[in-house]
Each structure stands twice: as structure tokens, then as C-alpha cells.
Amino acid sequence: MSLSVLKIILLAGGLQGVILGFLLFSRQANQAANRVFAVLLWLLSVHLVLVGFDNRDFMMRFPHFSHLTWVLPALYGPLALVFLRRMTQLAPRTFLAGRALFHPFSDRSGASIALLAAIGGGQARLPR
């Protein structure tokens, strides 16, 4: 796996996003909105690094990251909406009130786990 100038720039941008996310997460002013924005920045940084290293050698070495770059952008919209609600309302609703926004990522039925286990040929226990 070779590092080109573009990959180094993308990696530096991802690192900068992670550092800014940690700084925002620890800031006391407007704490709820800052934490949501920090999670959004971390997600963007991880996605930036994964897209930058999206080649055959990287995916053969880390196959569990292969389709993660397709799913991550689906979280941008709900996180941005929660961030804007926290910034613009005086008494924002709790995170649990907006859980319907994240329903595709919080499948508690275990159907997706069982489907992945069936496709992969392994066995998985369903959550109770």
C-alpha cells in the first residue's frame, strides 16, 4: 500500500477533523449541540479516510470496511437535523425523541444479524 500526496492530504484532513471533534466534545458552551456536531465531524473524518484509501490492497487487507463507505453518508442527514434542532431551540427534545431518524441503524429485531450470519455461513445469536 503506497502513500501518494493525495492520500497524505486526506489523512491529514481526517486527523484534523478528529482533533476538532475532540475539542468540540469537551467544550462547555452549548454542550448538546457541540457533541452532536463532534460526532458528525468524526463520521465525516472516518468517511474521508476510507474514501481516500479505497483501493484493492486496502480492502483486501481490511474487508470489513468494504461497503462502509456506502452506508456512512446515510447518517449525515439525521445528524445534521439533530444538530440544527439543538442549535435553534431553547429547550431541545432529548435524543431519544429523535430516534426515529436513526431507525435503519438501530435494528433491534436481530433480523439483519441473522441475515448477515446466513450469508456469511456463520451462526449468530439473536438478541433477546
Average pLDDT over residues 36-50: 90
Tell me: pLDDT of 33 over 80: yes
Residue (of 42, 36, 45, 47) closest to 80 by Cα position: 36
Q: Compute CA distances 36 → 64, 97, 99, whole Å.
A: 26, 15, 14
C-alpha angle 52-54-59 in degrees, rounded to nearest 5: 140
Mean pLDDT of the chain: 75
Average pLDDT over residues 49-66: 78
Predicted model pTM: 0.67
Domain ranges of the chain: 5-92, 96-128
Q: Compute CA distances 81 → 52, 64, 98, 105, whole Å.
A: 26, 28, 10, 16
Give the pLDDT band (50/70/90) at residue 123. very low
